[in-house]
Amino acid sequence: MNIILASASPRRKEILENVNVKFTVVASNIDEVILDNEPPKELVMRLAFEKCMDVARKNEDALVIGADTIVVMDDQILGKPKNEEDAYNMIELLSNKKHQVITGISLINLSLDKKVIDYVVSEVTFKDLSKETIRDYINTKESLDKAGAYGIQGYGSLLVESISGDYFNIVGLPISRISDLLKEHFNVNLFYGG
């Protein structure tokens, strides 16, 4: 069965490559709209499903994997920053506090009429960051394309005091949970390359 990753994220692609899955990348073309009063877990599951369905409709025989990741602080969703000032404000908000990283995941194979939706939550605690440290991080330009304005796999790791939960979820693809779902619902074993 062909596997397709419905994401242009180089981080998600790398996570799948690290477990030797044979797959292709087909980015979805959905508008990532946040609905009013939509709970964070519902949001990421809906967006992951919409991305996955967008690609699955054009590839009915394939097993399509979709994901969407957000950062949540006190029920406030922190998406990708609009600019450096927005990124600075997000990092300042996260400084010396614990926040959640939630990834919605969706697995779809239309020819088998199977659709699986789930989510994974991890917690991240940031160090007490000085204004200089925040500016230094923003100057790396790493924050601009990432939910919550940081990437834990890069310079963002220097901001983190501790994590609880799945590290790969924080990067953007909770591969351990995906592996369980693939085995349970699609009889796909990632130990054998998918």
Catalytic residues, by residue number, are 68
SS3 assignment for the chain: CCEEECCCCHHHHHHHHHCCCCCEECCCCCCCCCCCCCCHHHHHHHHHHHHHHHHHCCCCCCEEEEEEEEEEECCEEECCCCCHHHHHHHHHHHCCCEEEEEEEEEEEEHHHCEEEEEEEEEEEEECCCCHHHHHHHHHCCHHHHCHHHCCCCCHHHHHEEEEECCHHHHHCCCHHHHHHHHHHHHCCCHHHCC
Scan for tokens 């796999």, then name that residue.
153
